[in-house]
Amino acid sequence: MEYLLRMEKLMRTPMKVAAAVFSSALMLVGATACSSNPTDGASGGNGSGAVTAITVRGCTPQHSLLPVNTNEVCGGNVLDASQAKLIHYNSKDAAPQMDIAESIETTDAINWTVKLKQGYKFQDGTEVKAKHFVDAWNWGAYGPHGQVNSYFFEMIEGYADEQCGESGDCQKEKPKADTMSGLKVVDDYTFTIKTTSPTSNLVVRLGYTAFAPQPDAFFADTTEDKSEFAAKPISAGPYRITSVTDTEIVLEKFADYSGKDVGAVDKVTFPIYNDLGAAYNDVVANNLDMTDTIPAGNLVDDLWKSDAPDRWGTKDTGVFQALSYAPGNVDPGLADVKMRQALSMAVNRDEVTKQVFNGARVPATGWVPPMVDGYKANACGDNCVFDAAKAKQLYDEAGGYPGTLSIWVNGDGGHDPWASAVCNQIKNNLGLDCSVQTTPDFATLRDMIMNRELKGLYRAGWQMDYPSIENFLTPLYATGASSNDTDYSSAEFDGLLKEAAAATDNTAANKLYQQAELVLGQDMPTMPLWYQQSQYIFSDKIASVDMTPFSRFDFGSVKLK
């Protein structure tokens, strides 16, 4: 009895202490912090009432906010909403549509004439003219400017003259020219592009952010890296970047926007988050309106769908995941194509996508995701269909794999679960030793791949630059291509790529690219795994929102409750 009474007393004292601490802290809040009320996502309320605003997870852009210098998600999300290009990718299926361009024509896939729509406006009221494209591209491709996207211009004639020699070291060697000979302004609304070799899908490529025009204000900025302009960039897209600080980036609707991709809300704020989990929790609690990435832990058992019931969505994207086979001279055990087929057939993609990803990945039947222009199913054929018996038979015919097969993934991307699942399937179905090896981060994995240090299989993810079948083949499997990590080389494949690039008609070109993809199906330089979907959640303020195939929110599709 006494004990109980004492306990009650004891309980009371710390409560009082806590209350005292809380109230003193609250007084501090009252004194100092009330004035600095953040601009929250709530719709304008008082006054005009019509202003609609949303908040979207942002992160710190890695580079300056210039279209030729942004290739990662953080800056890309912002620029995508603020830029207009010659071409706009339809936000439903990524089909290319004319935007600033009136027409883009060619007769030989080398000489192109671009005609612009008249009266298309930059956000400072000036008109978009041919020189704004030509000058911007010349500036972006110029080696000493060190822009990360400069390689997008490499198919234009004269690109090489703007680079600092073979080494790329601009301290030792200056470029021969500061303009590309393949670009010529004809009049205010017409310019021509000459490519070094036939490039039948040029039109599809021109929708990438790097090809955005720049206004006169850009060229008036005298800083070497255009940092003054980049602090408050002007472009021609549906939203204008009005404020860039360390804690948030604000976009406001551009009233005189000339294109068709009109935004549905007046203001989009990107508060900067350093951690996906924090943004995720904020959306679950309705403090943030949208987040475009779900932390890996919350995907388990579809937790994210129950955390935000009826407030989630998915979208097919142009991200392709595969496992690369180490080149034959690095790992002789994989030199035999039968071995590569056997390993691929031993993987049950349906099961892994269901068990590990809860259906958030689609099993691959080829090297190109379905939403891409030129997609055709089943390029991989039987090699990507699970067949344990046949796999074992091919494996035995190839003479078995010596030692332990390694599957290399980067440890910072949540790849371990699926890699282990694939590894176990190979182990059980073929009866060989398999182990998953992780590198501390993605950069280290890239390094080891580049130096050809890895034996066995390694992760190969590819996010498209532009939605064309060509972008999934040429940079990855053409002989000597920049991202050809498997040293794959096939005369037949290269020949078909060349032929396709020279075709003047996009449909004819795609047919040839599809044939080239079938060659990959015979040679199996990599093991296709699955196509990725993006997952997102939104707050209870939003009725519905779509994503583009580039894993970005489509602000034109936002419907508020």
Partner 1 sequence: MGKYVIRRLLQMIPTLLGATLLIYWLNFSLPGDPTAGRCGERPCSPTYVAWFNHEYNLDKPFVVQYLLYLGKVVQGDLGTDFYNHSVLHELAIRYPTTLKLALIAVLFEVVVGLIAGIWSGMRQGKFADTFVTVVTLLLISMPVFVLGGLAQLIFGIRLKWFPVTAGATAGFYELLMPGLVLGALSLAYATRLTRTSLVENLRADYVRTARAKGLSRFRTIGIHTLRNSLLPVVTYVGGSIGALMGGAIVTERIFNVNGVGSYIYRSINQKDGVGLVGSITCLVLVFLIVNLIVDVLYSVLDPRISHD
CB of 204 to partner 1, least distance (A): 18
Rounded distance, CA 507 to CA 67, Å? 29
Smallest distance from the beta carbon of 273 to partner 1, in angstroms? Answer: 5
From 15-23, 98-106, 128-136, 188-196, span contacting partner 1 (CB under 8 A): 15-23
Is residue 446 within the footprint of partner 1 (CB under 8 A)?
yes
**Nearer CB in complex with partner 1: 277/417:** 277
Alpha-helix runs per DSSP H in 357-463:
388-397, 416-430, 442-450
- Tokens for 459, please give them: 């992760």
The reply on whether position 248 binds partner 1 by CB under 8 A is yes
Identified binder of partner 1 from the candidate list 1, 3, 48, 49, rule CB under 8 A: 3
Stretch near partner 1 under the rule CB under 8 A, chosen from 11-19, 235-243, 254-262, 420-428:
11-19
Q: Which amino acid is at 336?
A: D
In the bound state with partner 1, the residue whose beta carbon lies nearer, of 18 and 300, is 18
> What is the DSSP code (8-state) at residue 326?
P
Site string for partner 1, 115-154 (x = CB under 8 A): ----------------------------xx-xxx-xx---
Distance of CA 180 to the CA centre of its chain: 28
DSSP letter for 207, please. Answer: T
Strand partners, 438: 409
Residue 122 or residue 320: which is nearer to partner 1 going by CB?
320
Q: Report if residue 112 touches partner 1, rule: CB under 8 A.
A: no
| Cβ 168 to partner 1 shortest distance, Å | 3
* Residue 223 touches partner 1, criterion: CB under 8 A: no
Size, binding site for partner 1 by CB under 8 A: 74
Round to whole Å and give the CA distance between 556 and 262: 6
Task: Pick the stretch among 27-35, 82-90, 357-365, 543-551 that binds partner 1 (CB under 8 A).
Answer: 27-35
For partner 1, which residue of 12, 15, 17, 186 counts as binding (CB under 8 A)?
17
- The reply on whether position 300 binds partner 1 by CB under 8 A is no
| Pattern 482-521, partner 1, x by CB under 8 A | xx--------------------------------------
Specify the residue, 74 or 360, whose C-beta has the smaller distance to partner 1.
Answer: 74
Contacts of 556 (CB under 8 A, 6+ apart): 91, 238, 261, 262, 263, 264
Which position among 191, 325, 367, 462 is part of the footprint of partner 1 (CB under 8 A)?
462
Identity of the residue, 74 or 114, whose beta carbon is nearer to partner 1 in the bound complex: 74
The Cα-based distances of 302 to 169, 289, 291, 553 in angstroms read 49, 20, 16, 21
42 is an interface residue for partner 1 by CB under 8 A: no
Q: Min. distance of Cβ 164 from partner 1 in angstroms?
A: 6
Is residue 246 a contact point for partner 1 (CB under 8 A)? yes
Please state, in angstroms and rounded to a whole number, the distance separating the CA atoms of residues 410 and 443: 8
Query: Could you give phi then psi for residue 376, rounded to 5 degrees?
Result: -140, 130
Phi first, then psi: what are they for 338, rounded to 5°? -65, -35
- Is 241 within 8 Å of 251 (Cβ atoms)? yes
CB-count exposure of residue 85 (10 Å: 0-12, 13-18, 19+)? buried
- How is residue 194 written in tokens? 């000459």
171 binds partner 1 (CB under 8 A): yes
466 sits in the region (left: phi over 0; alpha: psi -120 to 50; else beta) called: beta
In the DSSP assignment, the letter for residue 56 is: B
**Interface with partner 1 (CB under 8 A), residue from 382, 433, 441, 492:** 441
What six digits make up the tokens of 182? 């393949």
Binding-site member from 97, 223, 247, 544 for partner 1 (CB under 8 A): 247
Place of tokens 């009252």: 30
* Consecutive H or E run containing 479: none
Q: Site for partner 1 (CB under 8 A): which residue of 463, 489, 515, 557?
A: 463
Q: How far is the CB of 334 from partner 1 (least distance, A)?
A: 22
Binders of partner 1 among residues 301 to 330 (CB under 8 A) are: none
Q: Supply φ then ψ for residue 189, to 5 degrees.
A: -115, 10
Query: 469-477 vs 506-523: helix axis angle to the nearest 10?
Result: 50
Q: Confirm or reject binding of residue 471 to partner 1 (CB under 8 A).
A: no
CA distance 90 to 319: 17
Q: Are 215 and 132 in contact (CB under 8 A)?
A: yes
Asked if 272 touches partner 1 (CB under 8 A), the answer is yes
Shortest Å, Cβ 426 to partner 1: 24
Which residues make beta-bridge pairs with 250?
Answer: 243, 269
- Transcribe 248-310 into DSSP letters: EEEEEE-TT--SS---SSSEEEEEB-S-HHHHHHHHHTTSSSEES---HHHHGGGHHHHHSTT
Among 52, 54, 63, 238, binds partner 1 (CB under 8 A): 63
Which CB atom, from 110 or from 156, has the smaller least distance to partner 1?
Answer: 156
Nearer to partner 1, 330 or 335 (CB): 330
The single residue among 1, 5, 8, 29 that binds partner 1, judged by CB under 8 A, is 29
Binding of partner 1 by 287 (CB under 8 A):
yes
Per CB under 8 A, 220 contacts partner 1: no
DSSP state at residue 267:
E
Nearest distance from C-beta of residue 461 to partner 1, angstroms = 5
Q: How far is the CB of 300 from partner 1 (least distance, A)?
A: 15
Asked if residue 37 binds partner 1 (CB under 8 A), the reply is yes
Range in contact with partner 1 (rule: CB under 8 A) among 129-137, 273-281, 346-354, 366-374: 273-281
Among residues 257 and 280, whose Cβ is nearest to partner 1? 280
Six token digits for residue 254 = 């551009």
Angstrom distance (rounded) from CA 334 to CA 401? 8
Distance CA 458, CA 324 (A): 5
